[in-house]
């Protein structure tokens, strides 16, 4: 086998073969695993403690469920309330294999669609379990009072989402994430009142404590007083979300960061598939260099909107002045079968190509038109308003333009990260006692996540998977009590304190945000929608230079012993530099195009993504090294779903 050019940046270690999934028929595996888990006597549960970091769908549901079971739970979030976590911003819906529409859906079909949608880079066993528990999630949420959309008969409504041929998506107008999160938040608050969960808001995890090979606690900073605190427990759960903000501009909340998982990675946890990033095609474009975040608009807009650019590069006429025959409806032209409804990755890349060719519209030429003129003519303004009114209002609010009168401008934006900490079937990382849930782990979406699947996975992990698997781990506890004076605790605390002192002492000439924006631009240009060998190698060197400049030239004002938002951001950006480099190395290693990762060197004659299953049907699990990371491959096997390539022409 030829050596990969990426190997100048990393070592290659032994493959990972055991993911702890039971053998046997796939539909029996989760039952087998549940039956084989050890149980904990209810009277002993109080003596067992679990730290849960993050209060999004995965974290809040895990903390509430573990609290209900009687464990002593300590929950942490950086926001002022657990209800703020960014799961709240999810719009579309949540999938479940209920088959309430009697349209041929089943657990097996949801499993099949998810494996295929993930471009054959997810594990069959995990995905099957996800499809199985999806049905329980809807029951649970309804019982909690989540106000899903209903029909006149009082039963739940469903819709088809993301090009799937069955209607399995449950939704609450355009605010499904909000309603699901509030449900989990209320369950969590109920446990806080019951005294089973101890809540720590405005606390940020800055280090993981490892003792005798086990995750035993975390170091956090109280973001109001600046106090560095030690919290120990019998197990640690990270449910800290994705790392899309490495790009600076993304649809993530401003505070979303990689620090919790990156700190765990530095302590030995494998980081899997970091290069798998989902870029969503229908976001509102950047309007200027002050831009702080990007806003997603539901891709349901593509059901009726037509995407186009001027045929002539540099055409700066108003859209209404460009006659029909001088417009290029490029998706309809290139993909006549699917037209404007091609999957997210294809629509995003096509927009990039148009803009690269100088045909982009709006400020900086980074946008394409999404035009509703035909839909309004066909359906009438009233019907378009009924379908998309809230999205049109949102667009008008942000851009100051009226989308009923002129076409919307859209551009792709980073939206979700499929990569994350490597976990086994039990959602345990390679570090004993460290569990990872939701977007923070790498597991069920493979190289590409389907619409309405993120909410499903977050709640599956938190309500229905972790509570079983973590109990199995806790059954061997309680582990030896850890004192604050334990050398590993002292070392972790000292490391955190020294890092903070370092940030405050540099007193350079550039702001944290200016570094973050520059890093984001490098990531977007070279590790965004399309990656090349040359570009990735260049990006690695640029990131290293920028990181060195950051550590000698960043300016962090104020002191530690106060609410200091600049200091908070400095710590997050410092970790983004290291993650960004690993993302580029991972992307460089993966000389194939799959899902959210498109390598220009690996495409078909007509420019479509070309996978190389013979070489790359594996999970890339990266082990941290001070000098260089080590690649550990977990081979992927498909017993149930035949590996096929996607085609949308």
Partner 1 sequence: MNITVRVWRQKNADDKGRMVTYGVENVSEHMSFLEMLDVLNEQLTLAGDDPIAFDHDCREGICGMCGVVINGIAHGPEVTTTCQLHMRSFEDGAVIDVEPWRAGAFPVVKDLVVDRSAFDRIIQAGGYISAPTGSAPDAHAVPVPKDDADHAFDAATCIGCGACVAACPNGSAMLFTSAKITHLGLLPQGQPERESRVIGMVEQHDHEGFGSCTNIGECTSACPKGIPLDTIAQLNRDLLGALAHGKA
What positions carry a catalytic annotation?
A: 344
Phi, psi of 274 (to 5 degrees): -60, -20
Of positions 10, 16, 51, 65, contacts partner 1 by CB under 8 A: 65
Q: Is 420 left (phi over 0), alpha (psi -120 to 50) or beta?
A: left
Applying CB under 8 A, among 12, 149, 366, 504 the residue interacting with partner 1 is 149
The 10 Å Cβ neighbour count of residue 238 is 31
Stretch 295-314 residues interacting with partner 1 (CB under 8 A): 295-296
Q: Are 138 and 98 spatial neighbours (Cβ–Cβ below 8 Å)?
A: yes
Sign for the pseudo-dihedral over CA of 410, 415, 419, 425: negative
Binding range to partner 1, per CB under 8 A, among 138-146, 341-349, 543-551, 599-607: 138-146
Task: Give residue 50's region: left, alpha or beta (phi > 0; psi -120 to 50).
Answer: beta
Considering only 6, 49, 61, 99, the residue that binds partner 1 (CB under 8 A) is 61
Q: Does 129 bind partner 1 (CB under 8 A)?
A: no
Applying CB under 8 A, among 213, 478, 558, 625 the residue interacting with partner 1 is 558
Q: Least distance from C-beta 404 to partner 1, angstroms?
A: 19
Min dist CB 209 to partner 1, Å, is: 27
- If the CB atoms of residues 148 and 372 are measured against partner 1, the closer one turns out to be 148
Q: What is the DSSP letter of 273?
A: -
Task: Note the residue count of the chain.
Answer: 649
Minimum CB–partner distance for residue 241 and partner 1 (Å): 12
Query: Does residue number 470 form part of the binding site for partner 1 (CB under 8 A)?
Result: no
Among 42, 154, 323, 487, binds partner 1 (CB under 8 A): 154
Footprint of partner 1 on 210-269 (CB under 8 A): 224, 251, 253-255
Compare residues 49 and 257 and give the one whose CB is closer to partner 1: 257
Helix, strand or coil, per DSSP, at residue 632: strand
Residue closer to partner 1 by CB (options 106, 295) is: 295
Q: Does 553 bind partner 1 (CB under 8 A)?
A: no
Applying CB under 8 A, among 19, 106, 406, 566 the residue interacting with partner 1 is: 566
Residue 136 is a binding residue for partner 1 (CB under 8 A): yes
Note whether 38 and 475 are within 8 A (CB): yes
Which of 565, 604, 628, 647 is close enough to bind partner 1 by CB under 8 A? 565
Task: State both tokens at 4.
Answer: 């990969």
Q: Pick from 57, 199, 450, 460: which binds partner 1 (CB under 8 A)?
A: 199
Q: Contacts with partner 1: how many residues (CB under 8 A)?
A: 82
Using alpha carbons, list the distances in angstroms from residue 274 to 188, 530, 622: 31, 15, 9
DSSP letters, 59-96, are: HHHHHHHHHHHT-EEEEE-SSSSGGGSGGGG--S-EE-
- 110: nearest Cα among 120, 92, 102, 98: 98
Burial of 606 (0-12, 13-18, 19+ CB in 10 A): exposed
What SS3 string covers 400-461? Answer: CCCCCCCCEEEEEEEEEECCEECCCCCCECCCECEEECHHHECCCCCCCCCCCCHHHHHHHH
185 binds partner 1 (CB under 8 A): yes
- Is residue 173 involved in binding partner 1 (CB under 8 A)? yes
Rg over CA atoms, the chain: 24
How many helices (H) and strands (E) in the chain?
18, 22
Please say which residue, 459 or 584, places its beta carbon nearer to partner 1. Answer: 459
C-beta neighbour count of 593 within 10 angstroms = 26
**Which one among 15, 31, 80, 374 touches partner 1, defined by CB under 8 A?**
80
Residue from 42, 314, 400, 487 touching partner 1 (CB under 8 A): that is 400
* Binding piece for partner 1, criterion CB under 8 A, among 174-182, 206-214, 234-242, 495-503: 174-182
Interaction between residue 89 and partner 1 (CB under 8 A): yes
86 binds partner 1 (CB under 8 A): yes
Cα-Cα end-to-end distance for the chain: 34
Given candidates 19, 37, 430, 514, which one binds partner 1 under the rule CB under 8 A? 514
CB of 296 or CB of 594, closer to partner 1 = 296
**Smallest distance, Å, CB 88 to partner 1?**
5
Beta carbons within 10 angstroms of residue 162's beta carbon:
20
The verdict on whether omega for the bond into residue 478 sits within 30 degrees of 0, i.e. cis, is yes
Interaction between residue 464 and partner 1 (CB under 8 A): yes
140 is a contact residue toward partner 1 (CB under 8 A) = yes
557 is an interface residue for partner 1 by CB under 8 A: yes
Based on the shown chain and the rule CB under 8 A, indicate whether residue 548 belongs to the binding site for partner 1. no
């Amino acid at each position: 086998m030829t050596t990969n050019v990426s190997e100048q940046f990393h070592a290659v270690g032994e493959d990972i073969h055991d993911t702890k999934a039971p053998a046997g028929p796939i539909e029996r595996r989760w039952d087998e695993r549940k039956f084989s888990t050890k149980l904990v006597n209810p009277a002993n549960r109080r003596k067992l403690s679990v730290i849960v970091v993050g209060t999004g769908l995965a974290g809040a549901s895990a903390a509430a469920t573990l609290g209900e079971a009687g464990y002593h739970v300590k929950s942490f979030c950086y926001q002022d309330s657990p209800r703020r976590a960014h799961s709240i911003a999810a719009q579309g819906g949540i999938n479940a294999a209920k088959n309430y529409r009697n349209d041929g859906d089943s657990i097996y079909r949801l499993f099949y669609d998810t494996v295929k949608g993930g471009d054959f880079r997810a594990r069959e066993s995990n995905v099957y379990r996800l499809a199985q528990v999806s049905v329980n999630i809807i029951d649970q949420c309804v019982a909690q009072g989540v106000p899903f959309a209903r029909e006149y008969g009082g039963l739940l409504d469903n819709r088809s989402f993301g090009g799937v041929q069955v209607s399995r998506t449950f939704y609450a107008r355009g605010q499904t994430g909000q309603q699901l999160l509030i449900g989990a938040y209320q369950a969590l608050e109920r446990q806080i009142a019951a005294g089973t969960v101890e809540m720590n808001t405005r606390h940020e995890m800055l280090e993981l404590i490892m003792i005798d090979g086990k995750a035993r606690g975390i170091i956090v900073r109280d973001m109001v007083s600046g106090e560095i605190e030690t919290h120990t427990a019998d197990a640690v759960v990270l449910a800290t979300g994705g790392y899309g903000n490495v790009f600076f501009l993304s649809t993530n909340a401003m505070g979303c960061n990689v620090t919790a998982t990156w700190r765990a990675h530095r302590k030995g946890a494998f980081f899997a598939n970091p290069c798998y990033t989902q870029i969503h095609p229908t976001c509102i474009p950047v309007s200027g260099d002050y831009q702080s975040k990007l806003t997603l608009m539901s891709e349901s807009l593509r059901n009726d909107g037509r995407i186009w650019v001027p045929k002539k590069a540099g055409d700066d006429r108003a859209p209404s002045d460009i006659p029909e025959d001088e417009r290029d409806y490029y998706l309809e032209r290139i993909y006549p079968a699917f037209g404007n409804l091609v999957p997210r990755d294809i629509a995003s890349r096509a927009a990039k190509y148009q803009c690269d060719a100088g045909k982009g519209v709006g400020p900086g030429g980074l946008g394409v038109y999404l035009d509703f003129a035909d839909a309004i003519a066909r359906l009438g303004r009233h019907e378009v308003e009924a379908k998309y009114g809230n999205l049109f209002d949102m667009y008008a609010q942000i851009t100051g333009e009226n989308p009923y009168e002129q076409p919307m401008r859209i551009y792709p934006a980073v939206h979700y990260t499929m990569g994350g900490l490597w976990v086994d079937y039990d959602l345990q990382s390679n570090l004993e006692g460290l569990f990872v849930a939701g977007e923070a782990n790498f597991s069920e979406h493979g190289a590409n996540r389907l619409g309405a699947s993120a909410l499903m996975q977050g709640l599956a992990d938190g309500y229905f998977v972790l509570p079983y698997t973590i109990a199995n781990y806790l059954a061997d506890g309680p582990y030896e009590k850890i004192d604050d004076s334990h050398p590993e605790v002292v070392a972790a605390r000292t490391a955190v304190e020294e890092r903070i002192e370092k940030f405050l002492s540099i007193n350079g000439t550039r702001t944290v945000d200016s570094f973050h924006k520059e890093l984001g631009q490098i990531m977007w240009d070279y590790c965004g929608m399309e990656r090349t060998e040359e570009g990735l190698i260049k990006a690695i060197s640029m990131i290293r230079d920028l990181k060195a400049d950051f550590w000698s030239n960043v300016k962090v004002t104020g002191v530690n012993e106060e609410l200091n938002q600049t200091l908070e951001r400095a710590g997050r950006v410092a970790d983004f530099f290291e993650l960004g480099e690993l993302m580029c190395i991972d992307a460089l290693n993966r000389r194939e195009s799959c899902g959210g990762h498109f390598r220009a060197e690996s495409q078909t004659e007509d420019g479509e993504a070309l996978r190389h299953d013979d070489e790359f049907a594996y999970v890339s699990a990266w082990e941290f090294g001070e000098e260089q990371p080590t690649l550990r491959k977990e081979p992927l096997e498909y017993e149930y779903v035949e590996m096929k390539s996607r085609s949308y022409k």
